[in-house]
A and B are shown apart, each in its own frame.
Chain A
Amino acid sequence: MSVLVYTESEKGNFKKNAFEVASYAAAVAAEMGTTVTAVTINAQADETLGEYGVNKVLKVENDALSPFNAKAFAQVLSAAAAQEGAKVIVLSSSADTKYMAPLLAASLGAGYVPNVVEKPSSTAPFTVKRTAFSNKAFAQTQILADVKLIGVSNNAFGTVAQPTKVAIAPFEVALEEDSFSTKSTEIDKVVGKATIADADIVVSGGRGLKGPENWHMVEDLADVLGAATACSKPVSDLGWRPHGEHVGQTGKPVASNLYIAIGISGAIQHLAGVSSSKTKVVINTDPEAPFFKAADYGIVGDAFEIVPQLTEKLREFKAQNS
């Protein structure tokens, strides 16, 4: 009956969201008076999960499960849920997990609620708060099915240290050829750079930057901050930046600690996608730009002057404060 949590890793290392979902699972388990079991797949250092309240790890080691495969991973988690008799399963909001989650939900007949932003407001009836209408609202959603599958939004709950003694048990699942009927043939991924999904800071540029040749300003600022880069929709439609960087209602949601918007007007579709970011800064020449109504801090001015200054001063600041 323990709460099951899938703690994701990449090349053996836990992703940041792994500790966040573990912390979330620990909070739910405390509420329900039960323990937390994590499932890891080809991860190292499973014992670190004990720092976030995990009591037991079902450790899967299987070369066939690298790289990620949604169907096969769903089968592993489904088997783990059955073995543990889990009624509550906690997942992250990564692209891989969001790919797998509906497959898992169907195989368990579970009620799946993604984009959850707080610990359950009630466990009987089981009710969670999630974003709806693309971040323009929240819903309190009741899960009617017996098995509850919760997708926790990035950065919504945070990590909570809670040192716990953790037992690690190997877990094997027999997978058939058919589980791999969709096969990865190529992965094209920027390495060593923060991604929009897991970055603490996101620096984003809009049409106010005039053209792709000016993006070095955005990149330099992002480098100094260890931030991911993003852009408004027209910027990606114009081909100035790759589609993967488009944020907003019809692009990626951003839930970083800090979001810096440069030369972005703040259209309703853009704001919807970035509203979950904790602190928002806007740099825009037009004091009437709608983004100023949604931001915490703003500078009215020309990005071409301000951004290089900001980058320089931040470099000095970082040198002094590190």
Chain B
Amino acid sequence: MKILVCISNVPDTTSKINFTENNTQFDTNGVQFVINPNDEFGLTRAMWFKEKQGATVHVATVGQAQVEPTMRKALAIGADEAIRVDAEPTDGFFVAEQLAAVVKNGGYDLVIAGRESIDYNGGMVPGIMASLLDMNFVNTCIGLEIEGDQAKAVREIDGGKETLATHLPLIVGGQKGLVEESDLRIPNMRGIMMARKKSLNVVEPVSAEQSTKDVTFEKPAPKGPVKLVDDVDELINLLHKEAKAI
């Protein structure tokens, strides 16, 4: 089985979000970039398939040279090879077109992406890719087992979960649940050394249209101070009369 894990390079979850150039650009000053958390769960599940079922695992990203440390980290965690499509990831449609081309060229059986990136929050790259490639698709995937070309996937639904039967080739939008938090791996020295020898192939983008464009950004209005109350009667009163929340 050949697996491709799609990796988005995102600001660490503790980052303060600021903008520059008249609120048109994200301010990367002092920001640490990491593997998108949903993608890290997917990569870790892919490592399980590699170790237990002999799968080959490649990772791919669409981004410029500065994303390479994140790809090296994915290689240090254990991916066999990395691919970087050398382009600015302008929007979900453009990124999906690039990754779809990588999938087509590489002949992957299983593509694991994240349910959403924590910066763009599009929640669309894996689904659009599936549609472009006419592959089966499971979103918000929290469990995945594969036997031959048959797949059993569990997805999160509002208020519960649903089990799905499908087959390869398959694309999933994954999240926590594919593996648990405690299964995540911190690259060790050996992994880091080995990652240096693994190939990180840079490929040219295919031509694709951008379908949306972020024009400006703004931050939420600052919040007024909290009203501290001494007892629950007062709280109930405020929630009823002032906030009209109950």
- Residues of A at under 8 Å CB distance from B? 67, 70-71, 74, 94-96, 98-99, 101-103, 105-107, 109-115, 127, 130-145, 181-190, 193, 195-198, 201, 225, 233, 237, 243-244, 246, 249-251, 257-258, 268-269, 272, 275, 278-279, 281-282, 292-300, 306, 309-310, 313-314, 317, 321
Residue-wise interface mask of B (135-172) relative to A, using a CB-CB cutoff of 8 A (1 in contact, 0 not):
01111101000000000100111111111111100000
**Across-interface contacts of A183 in B (CB, < 8 A):** 164-166
User: How far does the alpha carbon of A131 sit from the alpha carbon of B17 in the complex, in Å?
Assistant: 13
Q: Are the C-beta atoms of B227 and A144 separated by less than 8 Å?
A: no
- Contact partner of A237 (CB less than 8 A), chosen from B92, B155, B182, is B182
Q: Are the C-beta atoms of A131 and B160 separated by less than 8 Å?
A: no
User: How far does the alpha carbon of A195 sit from the alpha carbon of B240 in the complex, in Å?
Assistant: 23
Q: Are the C-beta atoms of A102 and B235 separated by less than 8 Å?
A: no
Given known pairs A144-B210, A187-B162, A193-B159, the reply for A258 and B176 (CB within 8 Å) is: no
Q: Are the C-beta atoms of B176 and A243 separated by less than 8 Å?
A: yes
Taking A197-B158, A250-B37, A298-B228 as given, write out 18 further A-B residue pairs in contact, using a Cβ cutoff of 8 Å, ordered by the A residue number: A74-B131, A96-B158, A99-B140, A136-B17, A142-B212, A142-B214, A144-B213, A182-B164, A185-B163, A188-B160, A189-B161, A279-B239, A293-B223, A297-B228, A297-B229, A298-B226, A299-B235, A309-B232
User: B63 an interface residue at 8 Å Cβ cutoff?
Assistant: no
List B residues 150-203 near A (Cβ within 8 Å): 152, 155-167, 175-177, 180-182
**Across-interface contacts of B155 in A (CB, < 8 A):** 95, 99
- Contact partner of A258 (CB less than 8 A), chosen from B38, B121, B182, B246, is B246
User: How far does the alpha carbon of A317 sit from the alpha carbon of B14 in the complex, in Å?
Assistant: 40
User: How far does the alpha carbon of A313 sit from the alpha carbon of B175 in the complex, in Å?
Assistant: 39
User: How far does the alpha carbon of A321 sit from the alpha carbon of B244 in the complex, in Å?
Assistant: 13
Given known pairs A99-B127, A184-B162, the reply for A244 and B156 (CB within 8 Å) is: yes
**Across-interface contacts of A237 in B (CB, < 8 A):** 180-182
Cβ-closest chain A residue relative to B163: A186
14 CB-based A-B contacts, threshold 8 Å: A67-B162, A99-B140, A102-B128, A106-B131, A110-B211, A114-B122, A137-B219, A140-B214, A182-B165, A197-B158, A237-B180, A279-B243, A298-B229, A317-B240
- Contact partner of A133 (CB less than 8 A), chosen from B121, B122, B160, is B121
CB distance from A277 to the nearest CB of B (A): 10
Q: Are the C-beta atoms of A145 and B211 separated by less than 8 Å?
A: yes
Given known pairs A95-B140, A183-B165, A197-B159, the reply for A106 and B215 (CB within 8 Å) is: no
Interface size on B, residues (CB 8 A): 81
User: How far does the alpha carbon of A181 sit from the alpha carbon of B168 in the complex, in Å?
Assistant: 10
User: How far does the alpha carbon of A142 sit from the alpha carbon of B93 in the complex, in Å?
Assistant: 14
**Across-interface contacts of B122 in A (CB, < 8 A):** 112, 114
Q: Are the C-beta atoms of A299 and B228 separated by less than 8 Å?
A: yes
User: B220 an interface residue at 8 Å Cβ cutoff?
Assistant: yes
User: How far does the alpha carbon of A243 sit from the alpha carbon of B11 in the complex, in Å?
Assistant: 24
CB distance from B162 to the nearest CB of A (A): 5
